[in-house]
Structure 1
Amino acid sequence: MKNSEFFSIAQVADILGVSKETLRRWDKNGTLKPVRDDGNNYRVYHKKQLEEFEQAKLLFSSTWDEEHSVEPNRNYTLVELFAGAGGLALGLERAGFKSLLLNEIDRHACDTLRFNRPEWNVCQSDISEVDFEKYRGADVVSGGFPCQAFSYAGKKLGFEDTRGTLFFEFARSIKEIKPKVFIAENVRGLLNHEGGRTLEAIKNVIAELGYTLIEPRVLKAIFYRVPQKRERLFLIGVRNDLADKFTFHWPSPFKRILTVKDALKAGELYESDVPPSPGQKYPEKKKQILDLIPPGGYWRDLPDELQREYMQKSYFLGGGKTGMARRLSWDEPSLTLTCAPAQKQTERCHPEETRPLTVREYARIQTFPDNWVFSGPLSAQYKQIGNAVPVNLATAVAKSVVRALNKIELYHSEKSENLIET
Structure 2
Amino acid sequence: MLANESLKSLEICAGAGGMALGLESVGFEPAALVEKDVRTCETLAVNRPHWNVIRTSLEEFEPGEHTQVYDVDLLSAGMPRIKSAATAKRPEDLEERELFRCALYLVGPVQPRAVLFDNVPEMVHGDAFAAEREEIRKELEHLGYRLHWRILNAKDFGVPQDREHGLMVAVKEEYADGYRWPDPSPEAPTVGDVLHASMRARRWAHADEWRAHARRVAPTLVGGSDRRGGADLGLSGSKTIWRALGINGGTVANADAQEDLKSRDKPSVLWDLSSKGWELEAEPHEMPALTVAQAALVQGFPGAWRFHGLKTHAYRQVGHAVPPPLAAAVGRQIARALQATGAADG
TM-score of Structure 1 vs Structure 2, range by shorter chain: 0.7 to 0.9
Match of 1:330 in 2: 214
Distance across 1 between alignment mates of 2:200 and 2:11: 29
- Match of 2:13, as an amino acid? F
Residue-by-residue CA offset, 1:39-76 (whole Å, 9 max, x unaligned): xxxxxxxxxxxxxxxxxxxxxxxxxxxxxxxx952100
Residue-by-residue CA offset, 1:315-372 (whole Å, 9 max, x unaligned): xxxxxxxxxxxxx961210111122325552424562561332111101111111110
Match of 2:128 in 1: 194
Match of 1:396 in 2: 329
Match of 2:92 in 1: none
Identify which of 110, 126, 136 aligns with 2:41.
Answer: 110
Match of 1:81 in 2: 12
Q: Is 2:253 aligned against 1:369? A: no
Distance across 2 between alignment mates of 1:198 and 1:408: 30
Residue-by-residue CA offset, 1:291-329 (whole Å, 9 max, x unaligned): xxxx8xxxxxxxxxxxxxxxxxxxxxxxxxxxxxxxx96
- Following superposition of structure 1 onto structure 2, how do residues 174-253 of structure 1 map, counting pairs within 5 Å? 174-191=107-124, 192=126, 194=128, 196-214=130-148, 216-240=149-173, 242-243=174-175, 246-253=177-184
Alignment CA distance shift 1:195-1:369 (3 Å): closer
Q: How far apart are 1:149 and its partner, in Å?
A: 5.8
More displaced 10-residue stretch of structure 1: 135-144 or 76-85: 135-144
Residue-by-residue CA offset, 1:66-124 (whole Å, 9 max, x unaligned): xxxxx952100000011100000000000011111000111111110011001000011
- Match of 1:102, as an amino acid? L
Residue-by-residue CA offset, 1:160-215 (whole Å, 9 max, x unaligned): xx99711221123211110111111111122316252222222222223321112x
Distance across 2 between alignment mates of 1:163 and 1:86: 19
Distance across 2 between alignment mates of 1:91 and 1:263: 18
- Match of 1:109, as an amino acid? T
Alignment CA distance shift 1:220-1:183 (3 Å): same
Alignment CA distance shift 1:171-1:371 (3 Å): same
Distance across 2 between alignment mates of 1:163 and 1:331: 36
Question: In the alignment, is the contact (CA less than 8 A) between 1:274 and 1:360 conserved in 2?
Answer: no
Question: Does the residue aligned with 2:169 lie in a helix, a strand or coil?
Answer: strand
Alignment CA distance shift 1:199-1:354 (3 Å): same
Distance across 2 between alignment mates of 1:332 and 1:149: 30
Question: Does the residue aligned with 2:293 lie in a helix, a strand or coil?
Answer: helix
Identify which of 132, 156, 166 aligns with 2:63.
Answer: 132
Q: How far apart are 1:144 and its partner, in Å?
A: 1.8
Identify which of 195, 210, 216 aligns with 1:264.
Answer: 195
Q: Is 2:186 aligned against 1:255? A: yes
Residue-by-residue CA offset, 1:214-267 (whole Å, 9 max, x unaligned): 2x0000111101110000011110123x145x411111222312211121125x
More displaced 10-residue stretch of structure 1: 91-100 or 328-337: 328-337
- Match of 1:335, as an amino acid? P
Distance across 2 between alignment mates of 1:163 and 1:218: 21
Question: In the alignment, is the contact (CA less than 8 A) between 1:250 and 1:400 conserved in 2?
Answer: yes
Count of equivalent residues: 278
Question: Does the residue aligned with 1:165 lie in a helix, a strand or coil?
Answer: helix
Between 1 and 2, higher relative CO (CA 8 Å, sep ≥ 6) is seen in 2
RMSD: 2.8
Alignment CA distance shift 1:116-1:83 (3 Å): same
Q: TM-score, normalised by structure 2?
A: 0.73
Question: Does the residue aligned with 2:106 lie in a helix, a strand or coil?
Answer: helix
Alignment CA distance shift 1:382-1:408 (3 Å): same
Question: Does the residue aligned with 1:74 lie in a helix, a strand or coil?
Answer: coil
Q: Is 2:76 aligned against 1:142? A: yes
Distance across 2 between alignment mates of 1:108 and 1:217: 32
Match of 2:272 in 1: none
Identify which of 121, 125, 150 aligns with 2:52.
Answer: 121
Question: In the alignment, is the contact (CA less than 8 A) between 1:147 and 1:167 conserved in 2?
Answer: no
Segments of structure 1 that go 5 or more residues without pairing to the other structure are 1-70, 153-161, 267-271, 278-294, 296-327, 414-422
Question: Does the residue aligned with 1:405 lie in a helix, a strand or coil?
Answer: helix
Distance across 2 between alignment mates of 1:99 and 1:206: 22
Distance across 2 between alignment mates of 1:364 and 1:205: 37
Distance across 2 between alignment mates of 1:97 and 1:396: 13
- Match of 1:336, as an amino acid? T
Distance across 2 between alignment mates of 1:110 and 1:144: 15
Q: How far apart are 1:150 and its partner, in Å?
A: 7.6
Alignment CA distance shift 1:275-1:397 (3 Å): farther
Distance across 1 between alignment mates of 2:97 and 2:218: 36
Residue-by-residue CA offset, 1:5-64 (whole Å, 9 max, x unaligned): xxxxxxxxxxxxxxxxxxxxxxxxxxxxxxxxxxxxxxxxxxxxxxxxxxxxxxxxxxxx
Question: Does the residue aligned with 2:155 lie in a helix, a strand or coil?
Answer: helix
Segments of structure 2 that go 5 or more residues without pairing to the other structure are 87-94, 204-209, 224-230, 247-277, 279-285
Q: TM-score, normalised by structure 1?
A: 0.61
